[in-house]
Amino acid sequence: MKLNRMPKIEVRSLCTEINGIFSSSLDLTGFAVFSNNKNRIFVSTSLVESFLKLHLNIEKAGLYFASRTHAGEIRLTIEGSQVVFQSANKNIFHADKNQIMELVRGIDIDYSDSMKTLENGFVLVVYENDCYGCGRFTGKKIVNYVKKSNRIKNLKESLTKTF
In the chain, the domains with their CATH numbers are 4-85 (3.10.450.220), 92-160 (3.10.450.720)
pTM of the prediction?
Answer: 0.84
Dihedral angle computed from the Cα positions of residues 59, 61, 66 and 68, in that order, rounded to the nearest 10 degrees: -20
DSSP per position, 46-73? THHHHHHTTT------SEEEEEE-TTS-
In 3-state terms, what secondary structure has residue 158? helix
Q: How far apart are CA 75 and CA 125, in angstroms?
A: 13
Per-residue pLDDT tens listing for the chain (163 residues): 577 888 888 999 999 999 999 999 999 988 989 998 899 999 998 777 777 666 666 677 789 999 999 998 999 999 999 999 999 999 999 999 999 988 888 889 999 888 888 999 999 999 999 999 999 999 999 999 877 777 677 665 435 555 5
